[in-house]
Amino acid sequence: MAKTGDRARTTAVSALASLDFALDRGSPVPLYHQLAQQLEAAIGHGVLAPGNLLGNEVDLSVRLGLSRPTVRQAIQSLVDKGLLVRRRGVGTQVVHSQVRRPLELSSLYDDLETAGQGPTTEVVRNEVVPAPCDVAAALGVPEGGEVTVLDRLRRTHGRPVALLRNYLPVPLLDLDSARLEATGLYRVMRSAGITLHSARQTVGARAATAGEASRLDEEEGAALLTMQRTAYDDTGRAVEYGTHIYRASLYTFDFQLLVRP
């Protein structure tokens, strides 16, 4: 009799076989990316269930009218995202659901993507000052040189959750406070032509000072999460340095790690 393994395999292949992928060769978006998006959507909708095998790459490429390298490139991008697992001699499987939910690191995700929503951000301060020592070192500008300092208070459900302080080199862009509150720092930077490449972050904790406590609606000595970040553009210039504090009672950093083989 067929065992569960056989049944699963049959189901998997037919599930994929019944899918029709719409590939548009005239589109400017690459074929491998079109395929990857549609595979990801199929996984997201549960059409391809966890554990399902994808069927071998050669058959897939023939059925789609693509070359095998192109199909591989699509599959590889989903493997890199942690959605699929390849095993030599076995096949390509959809990863089990609990493992998925690829999250970005909360704070950077906020800055990159949040636009209004629940959380609101109030610009408390936005001015040009001489660079303190640590800021100058992080941004690679002379100590005492001009930098923009930006203080923001972030609230969720009306309660303060974070004090965000950012320093930016002055010549990069001018910061419109109203626009910042509406769209977030990274969106403003991006639309100014700054393409982010990478960032270094340090997360720690310490007790709240009296001033911090009052602004965050906490008690003095309450545990705070701290985060420092230096962000670089793709030419290697430091474009932002931030020192942020979060109410530990309301905020955590949540993220997923993928172990590279």
Partner DNA sequence: AAGTGGTCTAGACCACTTT
Partner DNA sequence: AAGTGGTCTAGACCACTTA
CA distance 208 to 61: 58
Binders of DNA among 62-81, rule CB under 7 A?
65-70, 72-73
43 binds a copy of itself (CB under 8 A): no
CA distance 152 to 163: 6
Task: Indicate the burial class of 198 (C-beta count within 10 angstroms; 0-12, 13-18, 19 or more).
Answer: exposed
Binders of DNA among 91-110, rule CB under 7 A?
91-92
- Reduce the DSSP state of residue 19 to 3 states and report it: coil
As a residue count, the chain comes to 261
Distances (CA, A) of 44 to 56, 80, 135: 21, 16, 43
Binders of a copy of itself among 93-152, rule CB under 8 A?
95-99, 101, 103, 105, 108, 140
28 binds a copy of itself (CB under 8 A): no
Q: Which partner from the list DNA, a copy of itself, none does 11 bind, CB cut-off 5 to 8 Å by kind? A: none
79 binds a copy of itself (CB under 8 A): no
Min dist. Cβ of residue 49 to a copy of itself (A) = 12
Give the number of other Cβ atoms within 10 Å of residue 185's Cβ: 21
Distances (CA, A) of 56 to 72, 77, 82, 84, 91: 10, 16, 19, 13, 7
Among 69, 130, 145, 211, binds a copy of itself (CB under 8 A): 69
51 binds a copy of itself (CB under 8 A): yes
Min dist. Cβ of residue 59 to DNA (A) = 7
Min dist. Cβ of residue 104 to DNA (A) = 22
* Both tokens assigned to 238: 């430091």
Among 205, 209, 210, 211, binds a copy of itself (CB under 8 A): 205
Among 14, 198, 209, 214, binds a copy of itself (CB under 8 A): 198
254 binds a copy of itself (CB under 8 A): yes
50 binds a copy of itself (CB under 8 A): yes
Binding segment for DNA (CB under 7 A), chosen from 89-97, 145-153, 170-178, 199-207, is 89-97
Q: Please answer whether residues 184 and 110 qualify as being in contact, where contact means their C-beta atoms are separated by less than 8 angstroms.
A: yes
Closest alpha carbon to 152 in 174, 185, 128, 129: 185
Binding segment for DNA (CB under 7 A), chosen from 50-58, 215-223, 231-239, 246-254, is 50-58
Q: Which residues pair with 205 in a beta bridge?
A: 225
For residue 17, what are the contacts with CB-CB under 8 A and spacing of at least 6?
55, 63
The residue ranges that bind a copy of itself (CB under 8 A) are 50-51, 69, 80, 82, 85, 87, 95-99, 101, 103, 105, 108, 140, 196-207, 221-225, 232, 234-238, 248-249, 251-259
Interacting residues toward DNA by CB under 7 A: 5, 28, 30-33, 54-59, 65-70, 72-73, 86-92
